[in-house]
Structure 1
């Protein structure tokens, strides 16, 4: 699953990476324990995250959406949607035409040791990664798939990392039906760095 991710990015970096005409306003990085209202840094469920989608003029736009969908069948938000069952679940089926990208510098997964201890791991690449997501109103949900070999030693699921500009463009293309882009929702084949933080830092997450 994907319950935390990092957006340690500048507006210029995001604009350049995703071809935005106007750089988004990315605030200074603020440690998450200081304020739950300031986006940037580590994004947790219910906090706002930067997302990129297709604009009405054919270009791309960036905005801030709340991480997690509010639903009436559970107390907390739904933060992940399994790629394998997107078209089967009513909650997600109606959002299949509302697709966006979530730029991240890394995401966080926890490795559970034999004693039950949880160890946070940062997973990222050499640059900005684009996670596949669905959105509605002011909310988004991250799409997940089976873990790649690099991630499997930490967790059996991972967010869908779209593999390159072509895949990213196709995912947010409003002219493509979900059936045309469903094949993009596969484990990431690119290089990923997995870095485990010391147990003493686990409380920060």
Structure 2
């Protein structure tokens, strides 16, 4: 599971600045720009994302979570192993996105206690998680695009913390996830390569006052 992640839009990192600049220009004067979250990002908040438009990367503001029928609860994650089998996700399989992050949070259970950890690939300032998105209707009839983050088995170093982790894409796999099309069989084969536990080193730091 991935229940919170971190992206500081004020960070002086070229990749983040480029995303923010593009979004700021596109959404100038829009209330969505004011709602876009920086820092620790929670479900139902609006966040910077990357989608495919005419086979080009385009920065967008998406809302984290797909509402259930009562519109109060949301689905925030999708198991990578079953996205082609579950109707909710298979119906939007062409709506793939990249979710930029600098780390994600997970909680290790120890009896009645929970310890919060900040987790990220080692020596990596910014990475992209695999996501799916669809047009959703909020209360008041407002239409926005909502996203879910794909999860997979945990990397070896963090198995003691949690039994799932977000799918972190390798650099060479980011555009394949965004742009590749094909039959269900072809996509299943592709996803088996892309949507795997992170194979590099991972840092997990305990967070105080969680």
Per-residue CA distance 1:134-157 (angstroms, 9 max, x = gap): 011210000000111012111000
**Matching residue of 2:154:** 147
Q: Which moved more, 1:182-191 or 1:101-110?
A: 182-191
**Matching residue of 2:195:** 185
The alignment partner of 2:67 has SS state of coil
Shift of 1:13: 2.3
Which of 101, 114, 130 lines up with 1:118 in the alignment?
114
In structure 2, distance between residues paired with 1:174 and 1:84: 18
User: Would the aligned equivalents of 1:46 and 1:66 in 2 still touch at CA under 8 Å?
Assistant: yes
User: Would the aligned equivalents of 1:14 and 1:23 in 2 still touch at CA under 8 Å?
Assistant: no
In structure 1, distance between residues paired with 2:74 and 2:68: 7
5 Å matches for 1:74-153?
75-114=72-111, 116-125=112-121, 126-137=124-135, 138-153=145-160
Length, aligned pairs only: 185
The normalised TM-score by structure 1 is 0.82
Residues 1:158 and 2:154 aligned together = no
In structure 1, distance between residues paired with 2:60 and 2:160: 34
Q: Which 5+ residue runs of structure 1 have no aligned equivalent?
A: 27-35
Query: Cα gap change, 1:15/1:8 in structure 2, threshold over 3 Å: closer, same or farther?
Result: closer
**Matching residue of 2:177:** 171
**Matching residue of 1:7:** 7
In structure 1, distance between residues paired with 2:116 and 2:43: 16
Shift of 1:88: 1.2
In structure 2, distance between residues paired with 1:160 and 1:84: 11
> How much is the aligned-residue C-alpha RMSD, in angstroms?
2.4
Query: Cα gap change, 1:168/1:38 in structure 2, threshold over 3 Å: closer, same or farther?
Result: closer
Shift of 1:24: 3.2
**Matching residue of 1:29:** none
The alignment partner of 2:162 has SS state of coil
Q: Which has the higher strand share?
A: 2
Q: Which moved more, 1:138-147 or 1:169-178?
A: 169-178
Shift of 1:168: 0.3
Shift of 1:129: 1.1
In structure 2, distance between residues paired with 1:119 and 1:91: 33
Which 4+ runs in 1 deviate beyond 6 A?
Answer: none
